[in-house]
Amino acid sequence: MRGWRRKPVSSWKIVGAVSKPVAKAALVAQEFAADWPDDWVVTAMEIAEDRPDDWTFEVYLDRKPSKADIAKVTALFEDEAPELRAEKLPDSDWVSESQKGVDPIVAGRFRVRTPDHSPDPSAIEFVIPASQAFGTGQHATTAGCLAMLDLMKRSGVGIRNLADIGTGTGLLAMAALRLWPNAAATASDIDDVCAGVVADNLNLNGMRAGPRRGALLMTIADGMEHSLLQARAPFDLLIANILAGPLIELADDFAASVSARGNILLAGLLETQEAEVRRAYRKAGFRLARRMVNGDWSILWLRKRTAW
């Protein structure tokens, strides 16, 4: 799921302790906050495995938060606003620090690790440095998409032309190419830093960049209006691990870009948001093929109907 970014040194965060339901409600509220700064990054997670209902809610920004900044975060909480405080982070990349020493992620036949872990030749493996943009496989939505892609392949789905919208590190596009190595593949993201990240990861994982089959062509685009995406459509697999709001807004555009009987893999939506997302895609001409729930997050595999 897009949302985390490579952060500069000397960052700050606004942090507070919350319950799990309060954290989930605030995540939804932030998604629909019209004036939310694009460079503020929101995370929420449980404090410890043996305390599943105790969560921490954090907002990362690259300057010392003002009283108005803290008030903006407080507004995400309706009647149960936590006590929020500002904390200065060490002079280091907070994504790297937060993921340092994390174990590899295993999802289906896939294994995603950082360079400091040993390889496993029995798995379909990817090396993604922890210091990069969001999409290292640690988030439940990314791991869920990997598992769903593996399920699609095991179910006999054949893919010749795929796209990954909001690609981040390029992980899901690369994973799909490993499963369908003769496919044409396109990846896009709104963040221009991702172009270099994807290029580095293709090289690190021994994969090719470019327009030919078996290679990944990367572009920077907001939505589906970009000429490259339009030229390479229709896709028989479209992956979008973003957020529920944009997924709903893009339903018709995605439908226009997916071939008859084509597949779409959606993630980045909380389970509580699933009904609204499915309703939008049902209206756009898709039916549910399979769904998974990973933690609080839904992963949806939909297929385009051939007739209304």
Would you give per-residue pLDDT tens digits along the chain (308 residues)? 433 333 333 378 899 999 988 888 888 888 778 788 877 878 777 777 677 788 888 888 888 999 999 999 999 998 778 899 999 876 554 455 445 546 788 899 999 988 888 889 999 999 988 654 444 445 688 899 999 999 999 999 999 999 999 998 999 999 999 999 999 999 999 888 889 889 999 999 999 999 999 999 999 999 999 999 999 999 999 999 998 999 999 999 999 999 999 999 999 998 999 999 999 999 999 999 999 998 888 999 999 987 55
How far apart (Å, rounded) are the C-alpha atoms in residues 98 and 207?
A: 27
Using a cut of 0.75, tell me whether the model's pTM lies above it.
no
How far apart (Å, rounded) are the C-alpha atoms in residues 183 and 149?
A: 14
User: Which backbone phi and psi does 189 adopt, to 5 degrees?
Assistant: -155, 155
Q: Which domains does the chain have, with CATH numbers?
A: 12-98 (3.30.70), 105-304 (3.40.50.150)
Which pLDDT value is given to residue 131?
52
Which pLDDT value is given to residue 37?
85
How far apart (Å, rounded) are the C-alpha atoms in residues 126 and 120?
A: 10
User: Which backbone phi and psi does 77 adopt, to 5 degrees?
Assistant: -105, 125
How far apart (Å, rounded) are the C-alpha atoms in residues 275 and 209?
A: 37
Q: Is residue 285 left, alpha or beta, with left meaning phi > 0 and alpha meaning psi from -120 to 50?
A: left
How far apart (Å, rounded) are the C-alpha atoms in residues 63 and 12?
A: 6
Decide if 144 contacts 294 (C-beta within 8 A). Answer: yes
9: CB partners within 8 A, 6+ apart: 91, 92, 93
